[in-house]
Structure 1
């Protein structure tokens, strides 16, 4: 099998110090590929340096990595897509192995998991946060990847063209992982080296702010993809609270035939009504979710498997 047209997608912002090395690395690793650099409002010479290194340079004005990925996936037509950050931290030399695995096994995504012994490249706090979020994703969706936040991935055409990118920022990697899990796409992982940034390049990731955004994205996608479980859990909690409040009232009523705490009785009634509404909302939204998933699946099936 052959990989066909390969596009290397490099989103970047203010990476003048690293973009040339990144472009040259992927050009050497994948000589037949077209290298695209999508600039996201850089204030330095990133675009000029990338063009001089031989990349096709384009720009996306909406700020955020998710916005850049949305634009790249919409604009570029290829059979295999290699995506990595333009900061020279990912192992460009591993790209042929990732592409070969995708094509040979007719997969839809191969994840380049990060392996490094350089503490400054992959800080302990980031590793802990990644493990925490990965474990949470596993509990939510029943399965996951070992590194859901890596920016190094290889996609099939049918993955890219069936993926409705909704995220705006660094939570895009989480959305990508959930999209693959929800459509039960064939995926794999390969360990790849992760390097420290070149001098003059700085991380754009805000540990706490982006961590909260990723966590919120996971909750929002869980609500969207698992509405019965999400709203059912809320309904159960409300019913339990209503039951606890109702016990003293029931005991008093059995002994006296009176309901002395009328406001509590009203609260119990309100909680029960809201619980029932939550349960029915989950059931209705589950039908909507299944319909939306079927549409995405049909879009996915319109494209051939890699190598065909």
Structure 2
């Protein structure tokens, strides 16, 4: 369905056991933007999530591979629209902020608008989640050189060319991190927009496991740093190894020039070996940096092959 501006809009709502909230989310989305198609992707729910969403007027599809990342990958491949909205089905995000996010995307024109959560209830954020989110925001901003205020937000608006050029490799909740880093790496025009954030519906529980998913997200950040910033990553590893080699080898060098002897030969061999590995790490970083340039050129051409928003 097309909006009055002539652009089709599709909302993608990943769901797993959200029977208590999904109906309200779908009704709010349809009321806020009547021209928008609402796609609810049921991720193997064991309750009436799919039925409730269908009764509320959503287009319900089923994704049998468990994990939010799998849902987003499937939805981005299947749904065709000019503007895409990604929002969780737990009724924690303020749908009334959506028109402002879409207007921001259009007026830019931009490819990505990130909904930055502003808690309207003191209990909306679990302490561990808020602290972890702040830490990840700082880490990603430093590593990838672009500031982000809420990288784990599940409320976003995208252009068609962003969605169709996004590889979507993640399986679970680390998909938000992948979306954020993809936007940074491709340097697409983007903006942040403050959105309301409230408690989940009474009786429902968050699917995010603080430590398990936190470690998965951290592992993804490290992996993305290795692929998207190889010179930084392998240069850092090489520098650490060279420091270790110097700590092990300098005392031996000083003693050799003083006495002409190498008193701890195994340590000398170890120091030389560690330094060789350090040089190899630097070399790998330089080679992969050249490969990265070619890969980014290809990604950019793929991105530009789709029409502007």
TM-score by length of 1: 0.96
Task: Measure, in 1, the Cα distance between the counterparts of 2:45 and 2:11.
Answer: 20
Matches of 2:5 and 2:110, distance apart in 1: 13
> 1:184 aligned to 177, 187, 202, which one?
187
For the structure 1 residues 159 and 3, does the alpha-carbon distance in structure 2 shift closer, same or farther, using more than 3 Å as the test? Answer: farther
Cα deviation for residue 212 of structure 1 reads 1.4
Corresponding residue SS for 2:231: helix
Question: Corresponding residue for 1:202?
Answer: 205
* Residue 54 of structure 1 pairs with residue 57 of structure 2: yes
User: Corresponding residue for 2:222?
Assistant: 219
Of residues 257-266 and 178-187 in structure 1, the stretch that sits farther from structure 2 once superposed is: 257-266
Worse-matched range after superposition: 49-58 or 197-206: 197-206
Q: 1:113·1:190 contact (CA, 8 Å) conserved in 2?
A: yes
- What is the Cα deviation at residue 55 of structure 1? 0.6
CA contact (8 A) 1:3 1:103 kept: no
CA distance in 2, matches of 1:152, 1:3: 23
Counterparts in 2 of 1:290-305, with a 5 A limit?
290-305=293-308
Q: Distance in 2 between matches of 1:109 and 1:141?
A: 17
Tell me the equivalent position of 1:17.
20
Structure 1 match to 2:160 = 157
Q: Pick from 89, 106, 111 the counterpart of residue 108 of structure 1.
A: 111
Bigger Cα displacement from structure 2, 43-52 vs 282-291 = 282-291
Distance 2:282 2:55 in 1: 58
Unpaired runs of 5+ residues, structure 2, are none
CA contact (8 A) 1:246 1:268 kept: yes
Q: Separation in 2 of the partners of 1:165 and 1:241?
A: 38
Match of 1:155, SS state, is strand
Q: In 2, Cα distance between the equivalents of 1:16 and 1:256?
A: 79
* Deviation for aligned residue 1:292: 1.5
CA distances 1:98-148 after superposition (whole Å, capped 9, x unpaired): 111101111001111111231222123322221111011111112222111
Find out whether 1:140 has 2:150 as its counterpart.
no
1:76-113 Cα shifts (integer Å, max 9, x gaps): 11000011001111111111111111011110011111
Answer whether contact 1:27 1:33 (CA < 8 A) is retained: yes
Shift of residue 3 of structure 1? 5.8
**Distance across 2 between alignment mates of 1:145 and 1:131:** 10
- 1:120 is matched with which residue: 117, 120, 123? 123
Q: How many angstroms apart in 2 are the aligned matches of 1:281 and 1:208?
A: 32
Q: Which residue in the other structure is 2:276 paired with?
A: 273
- 2:86 is matched with 83
Higher mean displacement: 97-106 or 8-17: 97-106
Normalising by structure 2, report the TM-score: 0.96
Alpha-carbon distance between aligned partners in 2 of 1:117 and 1:37, rounded to the nearest angstrom? 25
* 5+ long unaligned stretches in structure 1: none
Distance 1:3 1:202 in 2: 39
Q: Give the match's secondary structure for 1:189.
A: strand
Please tell me the root mean square deviation across aligned C-alpha atoms, in Å: 1.3
Number of aligned residue pairs: give it: 306
Question: 1:164-190: CA deviations, max 9, x gaps?
Answer: 011111111111111111111111111
SS in 1 for 2:93: coil
